[in-house]
Amino acid sequence: MWLELALILIIFLGIIILGNNRLGTMIQLFALQSFILSMTPLLVHPGIHAVIMTAATIILKVLVMPSLLFWAIRHVSIRREVQPLIGYGKTLILGGFFIGAAFFISSKMDLPVKAISNLLVPSAFSIVMIGFLLLVSRFKAITQVIGYLVMENGIFLFALLLLEKTPLLVEMGVLLDIFVAVLIMGIVVNHINEEFESTNTIHLTALRD
């Protein structure tokens, strides 16, 4: 019951992120989504392995990464995504379609590992699709970073199917890769802003030798 409630909240927060244009609010929603996500290992496979994963996720995805993103928006003095590639209404409609597609595809899959909850796999696919849609439908580099992180939350959910069999070292390595990726993206955002006085990635198409 608690796992299903957590999964529903994670999808709901993903939809709110998708329809929001305030970067600060999006980061806060991502942090809340990540906090709920960090509790899922304890709900799926309680134990020392799950406790370590929960602690690592809270430190990196609830505390460190949002702090880096807030530093980035303060540094570039940007507060919202004004002109997305796809309008917010259309984005929400596409998001609803992708969530429906995720549940349909999941119902047709024959997984070798039995899921703890029938909502686990469709929720994972839904979050990955929401993150991907956010990534491709926005121009601001910071918003695209948030989309990437939301996608990773979906991948994290899918990995819970193998929580007992996946070595802890591999999972910690994945979290470290995400942390490094966010640091690199922060540097890229800074350089884009210094070069073009904007974090709009559409300017990158104008680069010439």
List the domain boundaries for the chain.
2-201
- Asked if 150 contacts 31 with a C-beta cutoff of 8 angstroms, the reply is no
Q: How far apart are the first and last CA of the chain?
A: 57
Give the pTM. Answer: 0.79
Amino acid letter at 104? F
Distance CA 152, CA 79 (A): 23
For residue range 123-161, list pLDDT tens digits in order.
999 999 999 998 888 877 778 888 888 888 888 888 777
Residue 61: the pLDDT is: 85
3-state secondary structure of 160: helix
Distance CA 23, CA 47 (A): 36
Alpha helices by DSSP H, the chain:
2-18, 23-44, 48-57, 65-76, 88-108, 120-137, 141-159, 168-196
- Asked if 33 contacts 153 with a C-beta cutoff of 8 angstroms, the reply is yes
Distance CA 8, CA 18 (A): 15
For residue range 60-114, list pLDDT tens digits in order.
889 888 888 888 777 766 677 667 777 778 888 998 999 999 999 888 877 666 6
